[in-house]
Amino acid sequence: MRFIFLFLSVFLFADMNVNVYVDKNFKIELPKPFIKKEFKYLNKEGFFILSYDKLPLIVENNLSVIAGIGHLKTYIYTHKNLKDIKVIGNANLPVKIMFNVIGDVKYIDSSIEDFKQNKIDAIVLNKKVYIKDAFLYDLDNFGIEFNKFYLVAYKDFLNKYKDAASFLSAYFPKAKTNSSLILTGYYLKRKVNISSIYDDMFKEVVAKKLKVAVTPYWPPFDLEVHGELKGIGIDFWKLIAKKAELDYEIVSEPIWIKILNGIKEKKYDITPNTSSTPDRKKYAIFSKPYVEFPLAIACRNDLDIKSIDDIQSLAVGYHYTAHKMMKQHYPYLNYVPAKSVIDAFELVKNKKAQCVVDVLPTIVWLMNQNNIGSMRIFFKTPFTFKLQVMLRKDLIDVKQKIDKAIDKISVFEKNKIISQYIGEKIYIKEDKFSGWFYFIIFTLILITIFIFIKAKVYKEKSEFDALTQIYNRGTIEKILNKKIKETDGSLIFFDIDHFKNINDNYGHEKGDLVLASLARIIQKNIRSSDYFGRWGGEEFVIILPQAPYEIAYKIAEKLRKIIEQTDFDGLNITISLGVSEFKKGDNPEVVLKKVDEALYEAKNSGRNQVKGKK
For the chain, what is the mean pLDDT?
Answer: 82
Domain extents for the chain?
112-204, 462-612
pLDDT of residue 5: 43
What's the rounded Cα separation, in Å, for the pair 404 and 243? Answer: 9
> How many helices and strands in the chain, by DSSP H and E?
21, 27
Share of the chain above pLDDT 70, in %: 85
339-380 pLDDT tens trace: 888 888 889 888 999 999 988 888 887 776 655 557 888 777
Rounded CA separation 409/600 (Å): 34
Q: Is the dihedral of CA 114, 120, 121, 126 positive or negative?
A: negative
Q: Place domain 462-612 in its CATH homologous superfamily.
A: Reverse transcriptase/Diguanylate cyclase domain (3.30.70.270)
Single-letter amino acid, residue 264: K
Rounded Cα distance, 152 and 177, in Å:
12
pLDDT digits (tens, 9 = 90+) for 42-62: 888 888 999 988 888 888 888
pLDDT value of residue 369: 62
CB neighbour list of residue 457: distance below 8 Å, 6 or more residues apart = 415
Of residues 491, 496, 476, the one with CA closest to residue 613: 491
Range in 116-125, 220-229, 524-533 with the lowest mean pLDDT: 220-229
Burial class, 257, CB count within 10 angstroms (exposed 0-12 / middle 13-18 / buried 19+): middle
pLDDT confidence of 305, banded at 50, 70, 90? Answer: confident
pLDDT tens for 426-456 read: 332 333 333 444 444 555 555 555 555 555 5
| pTM across the whole model | 0.38
Assign 203 a pLDDT band (cuts: 50, 70, 90): very low
Strand-pair category, 222-225 with 228-230: antiparallel
Query: Which residues contact residue 471 at a Cβ distance below 8 angstroms, ignoring those fewer than 6 apart?
Result: 463, 464, 465, 479, 531, 532, 533, 534
Task: Give per-residue pLDDT as tens, 472-495.
Answer: 998 999 999 999 999 999 999 999
Q: Would you state the pLDDT for residue 477?
A: 92
Average pLDDT over residues 103-109: 84
Of 578, 577, 581, which is closest to residue 591 (Cα–Cα)?
581
Q: What would the pLDDT profile of 492-508 be if each residue is shown by its tens digit?
A: 999 999 999 998 888 88
Contacts (Cβ under 8 Å, ≥6 apart) of 197:
59, 62, 63, 64, 65, 181
